[in-house]
Every structure is written in C-alpha cells, then in structure tokens.
Amino acid sequence: MQRKVTVIGAGNVGATVAQRLAEKQLADVVMIDIVEGLPQGKALDLQEAAPIEKHDARLTGTNDYKASEGSDVIIVTAGIPRKPGMGRGDLLTTNAKIVKGIMEQTAPLSPDAVLILVTNPLDAMCHVALQTSKFPRNRVVGMAGILDAARFRSFIATELNVSVENTHAFVLGGHGRTMVPLPRYSTVAGIPITELMPQDRIEALVERTRWGGVEIVDLLKNNSAYYAPASAAVEMADSILKDRKKILPCTAYLQGEYNIHDLFIGVPVKLGKDGVEEIIEVTLTEEERTALKKSADAVRSLVESLD
Ligand code: APR
C-alpha cells in the first residue's frame, strides 16, 4: 500500500484507529508510543489478524519517530484520558506538553502531512499543534464534531426506530459542554427532526449528546470513549487520503468565518487531500449565534490559560 498514516499514541483510541485504518485498507500504518513494547506488540497483533481480516496493510509499531517520515496523515491520540469527575479541561497542561513534544519530533519529518488531533482538550490541543508544527491552518484539523454528531445520530435513530444511515446531524462549537447541536439542520431522510419529534424529546437527546463523553467515562471508570472516537478520526483520514471532499463537522482554525478570529472551533468543513479545503458557513439564528459565541469564549479562555 502506498499511503502512509502515523498514529501517535498506541492506547485505546490509537490502537482502534490503527485497526480500522488497516481493515479498511486505507494506508500502511505506523504506530508510535512512548511505552516500549506497546506499539510493537499491538502492531504485530494487528498484522497477524490480517490474513483473517483479508487486508494487505503493513503495520509497524515503534518508539522511534524516524519511522513516521513521509506520512500523508498523522493522527495524534497520545495523552492522558479522563477519569470520572474530570472535565476535558483538566487534561490541559499535561496533554499540551505531550502534544508539543510530539509535534517537534514529527512535523519536520512529514512537512506535507495533514495533522488530525484527537487528544483532549481538543480545541486547545489543535492550537498547540498549529503553533508548534507551523503548518498552514488547512493542514491542522481536530476530531470532535463527527463524534458528537454520531452520538446525536445514534440517539435519534434509537428514538425514532429508524436506520442510522438515514440520519444526519449538525453540531457546531467546541468539544465539550458548550457544543451547539443544531436540531433544525439534523434530519432523518432529509426531514428535519423538528418535524418528527416533540421539542422536549429533542432537548433530551441534545442534552445526552452534550454529556455523551461523560456518560461513557462514568461507565468505564478508568478510560474515556474510544470506539466511536476512532471511527470518527478514520472517517476524516478516509476523506483526506482519497480526496473525497466530504462535508464533515471538524475543528478548524477560523480567521473571521462565523465572525470568530484566530480560534479552533467545530464547523462544517470540506475535507480533501489538502486537509480543510473549505469552511462552510451557514446562516445561524440569533439564539444559535449566541450559543456559538459562548462556546467560542469557553475555548478561548482555555487557550489563553495555556499561554
Ligand atoms: N508520546 C507518545 N505516546 C504517549 C506520550 C508521548 N509523549 N504520552 C502518552 N502517550 C501514550 C500513552 O503511553 C498511551 O499508550 O498515549 C496513549 C494514550 O492511550 P490511553 O491512555 O489508552 O488513552 P486513550 O483512551 O487512547 O485517549 C487518548 O484521546 O480521546 C482522547 O481524551 C482522550 O486525550 C485522550 C486521548
């Protein structure tokens, strides 16, 4: 296989990302982790599953960044995950140091790569990656909106007893409690859910989406979610590697779009071989604009506390 994706962090999210990339035959995969033996062991285990899963992707596990040289896409999942009672913001200082160190080592080896950030707090980690890598803004993008939208979609499908494939959901804003799910742009077979569900049920599903990460942390206790986050990151990699130009909710660096300046926040973007090829602006109601501003203010204060 000719395309190369490096996954940094061979923990729950990273290993699941590597598995999905290989099984979908999207690229050869290099897994890097700070723990000796961990990426090597997981890559070998995944490689040994290949004859049964019927894919020809090559998986390499290493602690040496040299192996990442010339990557098309780099997916950053390294860091500490949340424990019960922790917000994503509690991970700020530790994960910022980790992401900075990773960027210093990987960016010079793959100067043309698209960076996909998964490590939380996501919006702030995107800032660290942009600043440290010095990549153009279109090649630094965060995974959050696809996950939040997938959670919303799965709740909508269960509520209405319809196929998840018929659902679309639209989520703006930061990855956290201030996220802005937009019910009027969320549909089943093209029909807005506002026509299919009473307002109180929509509000209940929106609230469950907002707290979707916490719901999983409270159940798992020692880990945060990883199956759905990995699926979301791989959907982004797929659109970039195959230049599919899918419109997906992702965390992008805004420079005036939505009247937000110099800040990473979740918006619909077109993802292709150059990363974020376009930021799609939709007209918001007064209420939605206010909610997005509140979300942007929360992200900005987290980023400023980092500085
Ligand atoms: N370089 C490389 N790998 C590192 C580094 C580093 N400096 N620091 C930590 N890691 C590795 C850990 O050794 C571990 O294997 O990152 C991995 C993280 O894996 P998990 O602890 O299983 O965490 P995971 O559930 O995968 O979440 C990772 O993604 O969704 C976010 O909030 C989540 O920030 C967290 C990240």
Q: Report strand pairing: 191-192 vs 114-117.
A: unpaired
Per-residue model confidence as pLDDT tens digits over 53-93: 999 999 999 999 999 999 999 999 999 877 787 777 778 99
- The three-state secondary structure class of 143 is coil
- CATH top-level class of 4-142: alpha beta
Q: Can you tell me which residue has the tokens 């997916």?
A: 75
Which ligand 1 atom is at minimum distance from the Cα of 88?
A: 32
CB of residue 10 inside a 6 A radius of ligand 1 = yes
Does pLDDT of 307 surpass 80?
A: no
Could you please state the CATH topology (level 3) that the domain comprising 145-306 is classified under: L-2-Hydroxyisocaproate Dehydrogenase; Chain A, domain 2 (3.90.110)
Record the pTM: 0.97
Angstrom CA distances, 197 to 170, 194, 207, stand at 16, 6, 15
From 132, 214, 144, 215, select the one nearest 181 (Cα to Cα): 144
What ranges do the domains of the chain cover? Answer: 4-142, 145-306
Distance 9 CA to ligand 1 centre (A): 5
Amino acid at 173: G
Per-residue model confidence as pLDDT tens digits over 235-291: 999 999 999 999 999 999 999 999 999 999 999 999 999 999 999 999 999 999 999
Distance 95 CA to ligand 1 centre (A): 9
Per-residue model confidence as pLDDT tens digits over 156-165: 999 999 999 9
**What band does 1 get if pLDDT is binned at 50, 70 and 90?**
low
Q: How does the average pLDDT of the chain come out, rounded?
A: 95
Q: Which pLDDT belongs to residue 71?
A: 98
Same fold? 4-142, 145-306: no
Q: What is the mean pLDDT of residues 27-43?
A: 98
Cα 30 off chain centre by: 19
From 264, 270, 287, select the one nearest 182 (Cα to Cα): 287
Cα 297 off chain centre by: 20
User: Among this protein's residues, is 175 annotated catalytic?
Assistant: yes
Q: What percent of the chain has pLDDT over 70?
A: 100
Burial of 34 (0-12, 13-18, 19+ CB in 10 A): middle
Which ligand 1 atom is at minimum distance from the Cα of 119?
A: 34
